[in-house]
Amino acid sequence: MRKIEHIGIAVKNIEVSNKVFATIFGKENYKAEKVESEGVVTSFFQIGESKIELVAATSLDSPIAKYLGKNRESLHHIAFAVEDIEKEMKRLQNDGIRTLNENPKKGADNKLICFLHPKDTNGVLIELCQEVK
């Protein structure tokens, strides 16, 4: 793993949350994007070398909607940049860490993504991200 790619925060309303975090960070988001496969809309803020991703549901059956049905708006996941997501997935699976998807999926911000099962990561939802070349 190369670095923390971003920290994801689950929010109920992307527009309201964009205003809150723009106030906190003193700058506007640099990108907003729908990810149809996940049923979410995302919004990214660049803070130095780090990014914060706000994630809101666009459908009632999306993972974020289910998360917010059980939890309040909060830290949702930590994403790590990797060079080769398929190699990293195999390495982790061989070491007994389950993934939530069998193959990398297209995510936001021009990334291939995969989530690790939180039951195998001390309850922390970890996302692997590889830049699409």
Please write the tens of the pLDDT for every residue from 90-121: 999 999 999 999 999 999 999 999 999 999 99
Return d(Cα 7, Cα 76) in angstroms, integer. 8
Mean pLDDT over each residue of the chain, to the nearest integer = 96
User: Longest C-alpha distance within the chain, in Å?
Assistant: 44
Q: In this structure, are residues 42 and 53 in contact, taking their beta carbons and an 8 Å threshold?
A: yes
pLDDT number for residue 2: 87
As a whole-number percent, the residues of the chain with pLDDT over 90 amount to 97
pLDDT band at 29 (very low <50, low <70, confident <90, very high): very high
For 125, half-sphere exposure in the C-beta direction (CA atoms, 13 angstrom radius) is 17
Q: Confidence class of residue 133 from pLDDT cuts 50, 70 and 90?
A: confident
pLDDT of residue 104: 97
24: confidence class by pLDDT, cuts 50, 70, 90: very high
Euclidean distance between CA atoms 37 and 35, whole angstroms: 6
- How is the chain split among helix, strand and coil, in percent rounded to 5? 25, 40, 35
pLDDT confidence band for 1 (50 / 70 / 90)? confident
Q: Say what the pTM is.
A: 0.92
